[in-house]
Structure 1
Amino acid sequence: MDMEAGTTVIRSVDDVLDARAVTTVFQPIVRLDSWWRKRHEVVGYEALTRGPAGTPWESPLELFDAAAERGRRAELDWICRATAYRAAMDAGLPYGLTLFVNTEPQALDVPCPPDLAPTILDAQLRLRVVAEMTVRAIGHDPSALLTAAEAGRAAGWGIALDDVGAEPASPALLPFVHPDVVKVDRHLTRRPDVDPAARVVNAIVAYAERSGAAVLAEGIETEEHLAAALGLGATLGQGWLFGRPGPLPPDVADRRSTLSVPFVVPPATTGGRTPYEIVAARKPTAEATKRMLLPLSRYLEAMAMDPAEPPILLASFQEGRFFTPATARRYASAAGTAALVAALATELPAEPAPGVRGTALGGDDPLRGEWNVVVVGPHFAGALVARDLADTGDDGDRRFTYALTYDRDLVLDTARALLHWIVPT
């Protein structure tokens, strides 16, 4: 099929990518309290990609799927972001208005194409950008998502976590990415009365109160949706009620907002330290045998099986043989509802139990000397961190120095550390 995009003949998705033949439309993001006063105060815009009109790749979903089949998904992500930045800068988007741009975390591991690099660098100086990442990314590659968030902040940009609430487990991911903006999935705006919605909303509000993040409700098309969004605690909104995607307004360069999208203070990086090193630097440690520590570990694992507030469960077992069949059954049970269940040990397969993410440790990995169990939910957080004292003899009599903590910030630091070890499947 031959389609023309400008003067370029488009026969394949490769032609689209080679010609950089994508366009950007923009949807306004508004301050919700201003809508009640009929002032319709715009605080920013989300950039949305479209492929060449009239081609099979006009839809962004079809475009990205086709690019992925050709092994060029990361390149397309760079193209889309550069095109959005250029369109915003050419229109004169002022620094006081925030530009939301979707970002694939894995794409940041791929070098920027040289022809796009000047636009990317120019945007870092001229635009106030929030990089949007979806909660689904953490399930595929937690390390890439955290690294991408850190890279975005290093560039002076904010982070938004998209689709929060699309699954009941998604709020458990908030403290790991530590987004500046929580984008509430549209189904909560449309159906705020369903039972899971209350739990999700409470988790989002708790995170926003602790962090100072803004809550943005998507899919607002009616006054009823707007009322529901305000009931969810959203301060920002997006949807057809405020404007459909299209070009930036001709007077965008002259527009101002009295409310800036907040950039919150990010968590400190773990610096490559292990969970035991992180906790032992701040908490006293004690000595115990493995037999004495097992009930503490089992308690934390039981807390990971709460279907009402699905958490994240991360554990390192030193060696694969310690991930026993009984352990595998417990972790598979937790994986049925949890946002993420992951295990790390030597000689561990990619899925050591149904639904469990496995990461094989090298023989000289510092985690091989530690036994860690970390659970983080929307409200509960606990961690057992233990360092092997290298005893011989019966497994249950092996001694560890250990610490048990329910300090949420400290537990989150240990969880972030472990997430950086988890590699994509």
Structure 2
Amino acid sequence: MQGVGAETTGMEGRTTTIIRTVGDVIDARAITTVFQPIVRLDSWNHRRHEVVGYEALTRGPAGTPWEEPLRLFAAAAEAGRLAELDWVCRAGAYRAAIDAGLPVGLTLFVNAEPAALGAPCPPDLAPTILDAQLRLRVVTEMTERAIADDPAALLTAAEACRGSGWGVALDDVGAEPASLSVMPFVHPDVVKLDRHLTQQPGGAYAARVVNAVVAYAERTGAAVLAEGIETEQHLAGALGLGATLGQGWLFDRPGPLPPDVAERRCSLSVPLVAPPAPTGGRTPYEIVAARRPTAEATKRMLLPLSHYLETKAQDPAEPPMLLASFQEGAHFTRATARRYSAIAETAALVAVLGTELPSAPAPGVRGTAFAGNDPLRGEWNVIVVGPHFAGALVARDLADTGPQERRRFTYALTYDRDLVLDAARALLHWIVPT
């Protein structure tokens, strides 16, 4: 294509760059950041509102095919440079906020791809990233689709953000039913309701989302933020959904930060909730058995308990996650594969672990192989987590010889949601990118 001259603001200031490809955009750091305010909904009165923060939104060079962010990120992904672009956009947002004097009392919301957070930071951007960690209060936004793409990266990214003293938001909640089961694993400080819920808050589906989000917020103290508030009617819908924060055209359209942003203050900052305790490399059995009594049973006795939990994973209205470890890959039989593949048609995530398992042992099922000396090889775990239901069967092999159905295990069965989530988080850390 013919090159387009674009005056852009990169990390080093305003320059004029000829843009011919998406690579030129990335190389020149040729992105612009605009900001949309996030407000306290209970402060809205006669078109006045209290701003608690801003969401940073990326724009590509004006007049190019990559001006719109969706096209820009799609082209970068096709070129194999998505992670670098993600770093460029985040650094650009941080630099613009720092240069404008955004006070630490106001929270900056910045979108990120979890996989990109695990990629090395380009050296030229490192000073800006460090400056942001020292001078800004940031909440990093992630979407629920990452749990199926790369659950280990999503959990690692969330932990890294908290390690920097920053918060995490789960974006577009309600856009897909699977996002409701993802919430407790991301453990977001802010739950962002998808704009379609805000603008069409009635109906059974919205009610399911509201119940799950309110239950999560009640347990953790997380804030609920409604996106897409464009009218007074949308504002009423957001309040009806239980949102305390909001953003949308009713309050302001995206643009530069206000000239007086450095002097602005808010009476209540966006809350950051206590993170889940680290699993410390423990297995699901070790986590549950430390807090619940164990019993002894044969495989034949435990199979009905396992099958019962699997049936609880078959809920298309509120899709849960099903995580299971089978010791040996051979224990994931054809019959089991058929059951799990059927569950995967509606579940948020179905993942299985065992020795010599392929990455896709059945249609829709994510597989992870571990080594013969891995601690998980001695365990049989079946864990189901949905928006409201949570259950786990954890068992340790007593190393019997003889017929399979007579093999003995020590086991525990729990429906304590917090304990089940701890066990599930531990198992998710074994699931590696395909």
Shorter-normalised TM-score: what interval?
over 0.9
TM-fit CA distance, 1:284: 1.7
- Alignment-derived partner of residue 236 in structure 1: 245
- Alignment-derived partner of residue 2 in structure 1: 3
SS of 1:386's partner is strand
For 2:411, give the aligned amino acid. Y
For 2:163, give the aligned amino acid. A
For 2:243, give the aligned amino acid. A
More displaced 10-residue stretch of structure 1: 189-198 or 389-398: 189-198
TM-fit CA distance, 1:121: 0.4
Q: Are 1:193 and 2:194 counterparts?
A: no
Distance 1:327 1:314 in 2: 13
SS of 1:33's partner is strand
TM-fit CA distance, 1:100: 0.1
- Alignment-derived partner of residue 177 in structure 1: 186
Superposed, which structure 2 residues align to 1:286-301 within 5 Å?
286-301=295-310
For 2:175, give the aligned amino acid. A
- What 5-or-longer segments of structure 1 have no aligned partner? none
More displaced 10-residue stretch of structure 1: 6-15 or 238-247: 6-15
Alignment TM-score, normalising by the size of structure 1? 0.98
TM-fit CA distance, 1:5: 2.1
For 2:86, give the aligned amino acid. D
Distance 1:243 1:147 in 2: 34
For 2:166, give the aligned amino acid. W
SS of 2:129's partner is helix
Q: Are 1:60 and 2:60 counterparts?
A: no
Q: Indicate if the aligned counterparts of 2:288 and 2:412 stay in contact, CA closer than 8 A.
A: yes
SS of 1:372's partner is strand
Q: Provide the aligned length of Structure 1 versus Structure 2.
A: 425
- Alignment-derived partner of residue 259 in structure 1: 268
Distance 1:340 1:211 in 2: 23
- Alignment-derived partner of residue 121 in structure 2: 112
Superposed, which structure 2 residues align to 1:238-387 within 5 Å?
238-387=247-396
Q: Are 1:414 and 2:423 counterparts?
A: yes
Alignment TM-score, normalising by the size of structure 2? 0.96
Q: Are 1:29 and 2:30 counterparts?
A: no
TM-fit CA distance, 1:72: 1.1
- Alignment-derived partner of residue 24 in structure 2: 15
For 2:415, give the aligned amino acid. Y
SS of 1:359's partner is strand
More displaced 10-residue stretch of structure 1: 186-195 or 117-126: 186-195
Superposed, which structure 2 residues align to 1:144-163 within 5 Å?
144-163=153-172
TM-fit CA distance, 1:39: 2.7
* RMSD (Å) for aligned C-alpha atoms: 1.0
TM-fit CA distance, 1:366: 1.5
Superposed, which structure 2 residues align to 1:72-87 within 5 Å?
72-87=81-96
SS of 2:44's partner is helix
- Alignment-derived partner of residue 227 in structure 1: 236
SS of 1:363's partner is coil
SS of 1:263's partner is coil
Distance 1:305 1:326 in 2: 16
TM-fit CA distance, 1:297: 0.6
Q: What per-residue deviation string (whole Å, max 9, x for no partner) do you get for residues 150-190 of structure 1?
A: 00000000000001101122111111110000000111112
TM-fit CA distance, 1:380: 1.0
SS of 2:380's partner is strand
Distance 1:201 1:57 in 2: 36
TM-fit CA distance, 1:191: 1.4
Q: What per-residue deviation string (whole Å, max 9, x for no partner) do you get for residues 273-305 of structure 1?
A: 110111112222111110011111111111111
Identity %: 80
The match for 1:138 among 147, 160, 166 is 147
TM-fit CA distance, 1:37: 5.5
Q: What per-residue deviation string (whole Å, max 9, x for no partner) do you get for residues 390-410 of structure 1?
A: 111111011111111111111
SS of 1:30's partner is strand
SS of 1:35's partner is strand
Distance 2:66 2:45 in 1: 39
For 2:397, give the aligned amino acid. D
More displaced 10-residue stretch of structure 1: 95-104 or 68-77: 68-77
